[in-house]
Every structure is written in C-alpha cells, then in structure tokens.
Chains A and B, each alone.
Chain A
C-alpha cells in the first residue's frame, strides 16, 4: 500500500507526487509509442490521471489504515474535511481527536512533534484573504508564523482553517524549526481522508466522504 509513497518519499509533497506519477507515465508512453494518434493520446492522458489519482488514493488509504481505531473514529466524527499526514512515519504516529467544531492530529516523529489543528471557518463576507496571508500553500493564501521555537503555517481550505505546526526537540538546531521549508513541504504532503475511499463509491473530489455530517 505504501510502495508508491516510499518511492516518492523524498518529494515531500502530494503535488510533487502527482507530477512524478504523471511524468513517469508520460515518459513510458512517449518512449514506447512516439507517434500515436490523438485519440490514443487522450486515452493515455486519462490513464495518467487515473494513475495519479490511484497514487493519491493509495497514500490516503495508507494514512487512514495507519491510524488506531480511536483515531479513525475521530476522522469519521470530524465536522470539517480531514487532511492526514501523507508521510508514512507521521501517519503511523498520528493521534486524531475531534470536537464539535474541530479536529486535531498530533504525531511525534523522532524529536519532532507535528500538530495539525483544524477549525470550522466562519464565512468571510468579503472573501478577501486575512491579513498576513501573503504566501500560498496548497493553492490557498497562507501565513507562516514562528513562536517560541514552534514553526506553523495556516491556511483555509474547504470551509475550514488549518494550522500546521512543528515543534522540535532541539528548536534552535533542527532545520525543521529554524526554516519554514519543512512545514511548507509537510502542508503540501497532507492527503485528504476522503481520497481513501474507493473511487467508485466516493469520488476524490468529494470532501465529505469520510467526514459524515459536517463537511461543508
């Protein structure tokens, strides 16, 4: 289940993984059949898309399967769309909790503690990005913060506000806390729990597949 992910582990991001999957498929197609008709190319593109989606689903299924029964129950209870750590080590170390308007993940990986705190978002009438959200993560305006050695990034996605943090055992030496690169990569590598559902029963675009009764 984690084969694809382990191969791509160094890429750190779902987007990178998608690109890699697409690239490898394109490379194979290009080498073996360099002059195929348009209709066949379209078929190949569909296959590539399917392959990429399969890769994402594989990671999401792995992340979900790595959770304890209690954490999986919390994923189901979550009132907001659930993102999970795509990284295998982080996924298997994750403890998920959920409340009436939030869910959270805590994962200790070596000396690093990863934390994801997600709260249902109050709709903004203006639609403008909040102050300080001058960068982008997962395609959304994002804000990076640093506080007492803890690196964090926050953004909004599918009706919820996500705050991802990393705390280090050696906060002034570990690059995961001295630079933002790690937390940014970690954010990009988060996978939707809904993607763990079989495509036939729950399309990858359906955010509420595993977040019964509250996903918006």
Chain B
C-alpha cells in the first residue's frame, strides 16, 4: 500500500467518522424536534390504570440507551404485542412519539404503588429500531455492577438506588465492576430466559420509597428528564426547587387559640410534603419565623434551634415524601397575653420557600396563636362554626376531614406522637395540588403549586374577599359615572 492509498484510506475513514457524527447529531436534533410524551399515569387505553406521579425518583440520571431516538411505550399493548394490534414488532408505530408510561400496566403482579395493587413495575423502552443486540445500553450513573442474571444487569449507585436493565444482550461488564456514567454495559435484546420477548429494554429503579419500603419505583419522569438532557430538548416546566404542601399539624389552626398555662410549653409539629425538586435534609431545611423573617420569637420553646428557627426537618425528605418540624411553643408569662407567630420554611443560606419562583408556603400562611390562659380555660379550645369562613366545606365529602368544629381536644397536653392531627384531606399519594378545606391564604393568593395553606387567620378570608368585591363594584360605578360625565361634557363641547 503506497503513501497515497494510506492517506486516501485515512481520509475515507475521517469522512465516514464525520458522516456518522453528523448523522448522530441529525438524529439527536430530529429526536429533540419531535419529542413529545403523554403524561405520567396515562396508559394505552384498556391496559389498566396508571399511577399519576410526577416525581422524578432518580433525578439527574443519564438515559439508559446510548443514542436517541428511543421510544417508551408498551410491548404488550404495542403493535405485535400479545394484547396490541396485529402486526410486526418492527412496525413504525412502535418507533414514534409520543412516549407513553407503562408502569402499572395490567399484570397480576403485586405492587402497592399501583392504583389497582398490581401491575407492571418498570418501563419498556425501544431503541431507534427493532434490531436485536445492536443498540448499546449505558450506565445511567456512576456505580457498581452488583448482579448479572440470565437476562439482567443491576447497577447500584452510591446512595443505594439500584438500576435494573432487563432483556440484556452482549453484556460487557462483570459483577463488582465499577462503571462510570455513560459507559456501555450491554445491548438491547430480546433475552428473557428461554423464551424471547420483543427487542426492548425493561428498565427498573429499585429504591426505598417512603411508606412502601424497597420497591420498583416509577421510572417515567426520570427517563423523560434524562432524555431531554440527552437530546437537548427543552424540559417542560416542572416544579420549583423548593416547595412544600401542608399535610397535617398537631397545633390547632390559627383560627383557634392554643390556650396554655402562663409560661408553659407545648410540643407539636407541622408536617409537609416536599413538592420541590430538592431533597430536604436535617440541618439544612428549617421552619423559621416570618412576618418579618428571622425575627426572634417570643413564643420560642426551649427546644428551638435558635430564636428564629423553631426546628429543622426531622428526616431526609425526598421530593414527594413528607417530613415534620417538631418543636414547642411557649405561652406568655402573663395570663391573657397572646403570641401570634408566623412561620415559613427555609433552606438555610439558599432560599426561603416563599421566595419568588419557589413553591411556598407564603410567609403569611403558617400561623399559630398561643395565649396564656387562666387555669379554668386551659384545654378549652373554642369550636369554630362551619360558616365562619375558616374551614369551609369546599371539599368532596369523602375526604374524611372534619367539617363542623375544631376539636377542643387540640389543646390537650399530650406527647407529640399521640396528639390529634389536623389532616389536610389530601391524598399524599397524589399530586392533585388540591388545597385543604378553607385554606385560602389571606388575600387569596400567593400560593400556587405545592403551596401550603395550612392556617388562616380567623375570619379573615371570606370577609376580606367580600370587602374586595364591594370595593371593586364601587370603583366600577365611580368609573362609569365619570365616563358618562366625560361623554356628556364632550357632547356639550
């Protein structure tokens, strides 16, 4: 081979490499341009009831197939599947957007996270086409290969989250091997023991989910975020970084004063659900005083972390999970005196949850009132009438929320674990964003997605709304009168 032919071959290889790179780039651009997906929980019609869950259970992972495009959809209910339209698994309809969730798709397999209690427990992913043992699967994160089965590869991350790749072919890793994010670990195939399945990757996230233990968690939103990152797609709007939704509290609502003996303390809690994208950690996320913020509270109990911080969160709270702030409130030393304290949630040194762009609660929403009562009135919470505007009945009847009165037992001195809880009536397993009964914040705004609305200063909301309405009508009448006067003046001019 002479020098010219060597150069020619090198040039040809370079051209091919550039062409491949351009092709891959074009694929990515194409994938980005077209990428759409149906919402989580929306399964193929007739394939069961999905789980509506926007939680990104594995934030920041890489997409498990090396190259775009790839397609998330059902194997069984897809074209050529056992319950899908007749045809070939290679049908172009199986390789098109929009993506579709198939977690909880009908199966007889037990799964408490599925609405029916049973269902498919991962996500089926097709590569760009139906070719077997061609498309590379890659590590979604740095980690260790902890198990390789007949058709599976398990990758465990430092935090213990396990990523399962099923129906794998040409496995190129071994148990105990450390891998880095993006490293090839095998190929998409139809391996399934002795009975081949369609060519696809079944992807699981196995992790501990609060309330469920170690389960195969929903993967759909994590994969959407990963694919958006892979293709450079603009992510659809998602929740704020910091957000909290009220779940329950042991202290009475602000509409009811907590009557305590002068100078004494009562321990209680507020419980919130993490509706942001950041995990809350003890020592980082606190319940602090507001109105104004960081004010040293006269109602601070002996267990507060500082004069302006009632408590830190009691556990690590991942997005979608719940946690509590446990602390004591102290009554004034003088009988009849009252403290009114507002609280907000803060990621220390980073942001208040009430900051613009975050998910709340607003600074003027979470409130507790403590009064130093004489011995005769301690433990005698005042029932609040239904029509007071404090706890209206704008909620479905099946929520299990008391509608009539605030229980007088709320002022009883009891250990935290035993005190009655003020249930928001929200199903913590859903992302409905419904507000608890009567929980519109003062002024009727300020709390949007995931906003807390756990307390309302007594009798403020309905009255202030009524006052606002009257004011608007009055202004409209005045404006109309002025306009007519101007017209009359114009005609006379």
In B132-176, the 8 Å CB interface with A consists of: 143-144, 146-152, 154, 156-160, 162, 166, 175-176
Interface range, A side: 35 or more
Q: Which residue of B lies closest to A155 (CB)?
A: B213
A34 part of interface (Cβ distance < 8 Å) = no
Asked if A115 and B147 make an inter-chain contact with CB atoms under 8 angstroms apart, the answer reads yes
Known: A122-B316, A144-B110, A171-B193. A117 touches B175 (CB 8 A): no
By a CB distance below 8 angstroms, the chain B residues around A99 are: 143-144, 156-158, 160
Contact with A along B81-116 (1 / 0, CB 8 A): 000000000000000000000000000011110000
Residue pair A120, B214 in contact (C-beta under 8 Å): no
Residues of B within 8 A of A102 (CB): 156, 160
Q: Does B195 contact A (CB under 8 A)?
A: yes
**Contact with A115, one of B149, B208, B212, B215 (Cβ below 8 angstroms):** B149
Chain B residue, CB-CB nearest to A104? B146
Chain A residues with CB below 8 A from B215, complex form: 132, 143, 145, 154
Is A150 at the interface (CB under 8 A from chain B)?
yes
A166's nearest neighbour on chain B, judged by CB, is: B149
Pick the contact of B122: A117, A132, A147, A154 (CB < 8 A): A147
B208 touches A119 (CB 8 A): yes
Q: Let me know if A136 is at the binding interface, CB within 8 A.
A: no
Distance in angstroms from B208 CB to nearest chain A CB is 5
- What is the CB-to-nearest-CB distance from B269 to chain A, in angstroms, rounded to a whole number? 10
Complex interface: stretch among A47-55, A123-131, A188-196: A123-131
Tell whether A45 is near chain B: CB-to-CB under 8 Å: no
Q: Is A106 a contact of B160 with CB atoms below 8 Å?
A: no
- Residue ID in chain B nearest A132 by CB atoms: B112
Whether B154 and A115, one on each chain, are in contact in the complex, defined by CB atoms closer than 8 angstroms, is yes
Cβ distance A2 to chain B, nearest Cβ, rounded Å: 24
Contact A100 B150 (CB under 8 A): no
Are A117 and B206 in touch, CB under 8 angstroms? yes
A125 touches B121 (CB 8 A): no
Given known pairs A145-B216, A147-B121, the reply for A106 and B112 (CB within 8 Å) is no
Tell me the nearest residue of chain A to B177, going by C-beta. Answer: A97
Query: Contact at B110–A117, with CB atoms within 8 Å?
Result: no
Interface string of B290-316 (1 = CB under 8 A from A): 000000000000000000000000111
Of A113, A131, A145, the contact of B149 (CB 8 Å cutoff):
A113
Choice from A70, A147, A167 contacting B204 with Cβ under 8 Å: A147
Q: How far is the CB of A78 from chain B (nearest CB, A)?
A: 12
Interface string of B414-455 (1 = CB under 8 A from A): 000100000000000000000000000000000000000000
Given contacts A101-B158, A119-B160, A146-B109, contact A133 B213 (CB under 8 A): yes
The answer to whether A131 and B212 touch (CB under 8 A), given A125-B315, A143-B112, A167-B152, is: yes
Complex CA gap A84/B429 in Å reads: 35
Taking the closest CB of chain A, its distance from the CB of B171, in whole angstroms, is 12
A168 within 8 A of B: yes
Give the distance in Å from the alpha carbon of A101 to the alpha carbon of B156 in the complex. 11
Q: Determine whether the beta carbon of B212 is less than 8 Å from that of A132.
A: yes
The smallest beta-carbon distance between A66 and chain B, in angstroms, is 16
Asked if B202 is at the interface of the complex by the 8 Å CB criterion, the answer is: yes
- A100 lies within 8 A of B158 (CB): yes
Are B176 and A97 interface neighbours, CB within 8 A?
Answer: yes
Contact B193 A145 (CB under 8 A): no
Question: Which chain B residue shows the least CB distance to A141?
Answer: B213
Chain B residues with CB under 8 Å of A113's CB are: 147-150, 152
Q: Closest CB-CB distance, B381 to chain A, in whole Å?
A: 25
Are B159 and A101 in contact (CB-based, < 8 A)? yes
Using CB atoms, name the residue of chain B closest to A129.
Answer: B213
A160–B373 alpha-carbon span in the complex (Å): 47
Contacts of B120 in A (CB 8 A): 147
* Contacts A99-B143, A99-B144, A147-B216 known; 19 new A-B pairs at CB < 8 A: A97-B156, A99-B156, A101-B158, A102-B160, A104-B147, A104-B156, A106-B147, A113-B152, A115-B149, A117-B147, A117-B206, A119-B207, A131-B211, A143-B215, A145-B111, A146-B110, A150-B149, A168-B193, A169-B150
Q: Can you list 16 pairs linking A and B with CB atoms under 8 Å apart? A: A99-B157, A101-B159, A104-B146, A106-B147, A111-B150, A119-B214, A120-B160, A122-B210, A122-B315, A125-B314, A145-B109, A147-B120, A147-B121, A147-B122, A167-B152, A170-B194
Nearest 4 A/B pairs, CB to CB: A132-B112, A130-B213, A119-B160, A113-B149
* Interface residues in chain B, defined as those with a beta carbon under 8 Å from any beta carbon in chain A: 109-112, 120-122, 143-144, 146-152, 154, 156-160, 162, 166, 175-176, 192-195, 202, 204, 206-208, 210-216, 314-316, 324, 417
